[in-house]
Structure 1
Amino acid sequence: MPFEFRVNGRIDRPVAQVFDAVVNPDQLSRYFVTLGGISGPLVAGATVKWWGEVPVQVEAVEQNERIVFRWGATVAKGEEPYQTSVEMRFQSLDDGATMVTIAEKGWRENEQGQKGSYINCEGWSQMLACMKAWLEYGINLRQGYYLSELSGKPALEPQA
């Protein structure tokens, strides 16, 4: 059975503002990619770096509707690197809010692939909560959340 997941959350802001909070590095670095920042905006065909070192290969950007990118999966020592695919969808709701859905797939069907999918599912769920807090209330939930932020090193996995 392939490892994949889908998470979603309602953000009480118009779709254009929510979409911009993902593609715009000035916004995304305020609530999600806070340590190390982002090297540029998400535009189709670009490769940007998140957290100053993680390459994100942007495949598609459909204004206010969809973003698709590929990035490296966490691999076990000695395992050949590979990428997973992330798709973000933005749906304008009747009340003026936006439903954001994030799906990720493509992990290898092994123990490390399963572990990586669980870690990323947790991370994307947290990203949605952080985006909601930032856009609706101006609060950065990630500030001081990870021990790595105190040490100055990016958190690519939860710290023990």
Structure 2
Amino acid sequence: MAARQPPILATVVAEWTGSDAWVFSSIEGTGPDDGYALAQIIAKADRINHALLTEAEFIQAVPRLIAAGLIGAQAEADRYWQTEAGRALYQQGMKGRGLFGWMEAIPPALHRLRRPQDTAWSLPAGVFDRATQDWHERARALLKRHGGGRREQG
């Protein structure tokens, strides 16, 4: 009789992703008092990667980063921040790198840590969409203020 194979999901091993590094690189602050709100994280993520985070990317990365001791989070207070260990990892990796340096520095730094721990974590319904909408509105206002919203006449 053939040996029974374990279910395929039981053999899947979590690995750090580029999205985990992107979320981590988009969070600033040292605690709940100066941590980033979700809309600020979305805005910084857009600035450093010229793309918008998805809710799935965010809700996968946050519990992984918390479990690794790199960030703290109080979702109910809309606050996310880097821990002392997270700041050290970020500063060491980003030394001498510019705005987009996170792409070369942070993914390898995460891979040197233990494998990520996946746990269930979520945001209340609509919170991510509202934060994204807030960023869209602020970006439109910035463009308008700086002339990026003008149409050529002709």
Higher fraction of strand? 1
The structure with the largest alpha-carbon Rg is 2
Higher fraction of helix? 2
Whether TM-score is above 0.5 comes out as: no
Relative to the length of structure 2, the TM-score reads 0.28
